[in-house]
Amino acid sequence: MTKIDRRLASAVQETFSVRFLAALLGVIAMVVLTALGASIRIPLPFTPVPITLQTFFVLLSGGLLGRRLGPLSQGGYIFLGSLGVPFFAGGGGHLHILGPTGGYLIGFVIASWAVGRLMDSGEELSFWKVLLAMACGSAVIYLVGSFHLALLAGVTAKQALFMGVLPFVPGDVAKMLAASLICWKFSARLDRISPR
């Protein structure tokens, strides 16, 4: 191996090491942040679904980490929570996934993938494209969560809409706007570090 070959191999190895470390830290950070978002919990008297900051970090995970690492972070969050780590709103354990709010947790993984997929188009992203991706991610969470809520709570689709979607729209619009602004400002920069 020539001196140039050794330098090239060393540079490639260093680049991949930095990318791997950035990816690992990004996934761990989103697991922890989603868990912290769950700890900020406001229960509502008419529904088992509380107001939390989880969805903000779910959207960020897809927007900043992309369609591969974002869902991985949310899958890791759900896996650890299902093992009993008190990561979910109200504690931990697999019964949270099987309960009426479990659909929202499942929706987190799909939503993170959807946001990442829509933002990984390869085109330069405008704020409005990012916001559209965030809106689609939120819609996925609502759809999967309210469907699961209707099945588990034994309510109609209309009741599930009033229990699991409408009360959360104003707060989620604010979360979407904030997540969009962050991702729009930083996604190009993070793209160079973490593989999407």
Is the pLDDT at 6 greater than 70? The verdict is no
Residue 130, pLDDT > 80, answer: yes
Single out the residue of 147, 151, 146 nearest to residue 166, CA to CA. Answer: 146
Residue 8 in this model has a pLDDT that exceeds 60:
no
Multiple choice CATH, 3-191, 3.30.70.100, 1.10.1760.20, 1.10.3330.10, 2.30.30.90: 1.10.1760.20
Each residue of 47-83: pLDDT tens digit?
999 999 999 999 999 999 999 999 999 999 999 999 9
Closest CA to 66 of 126, 124, 135, 117: 117
**Does the pLDDT at position 13 exceed 80?**
no
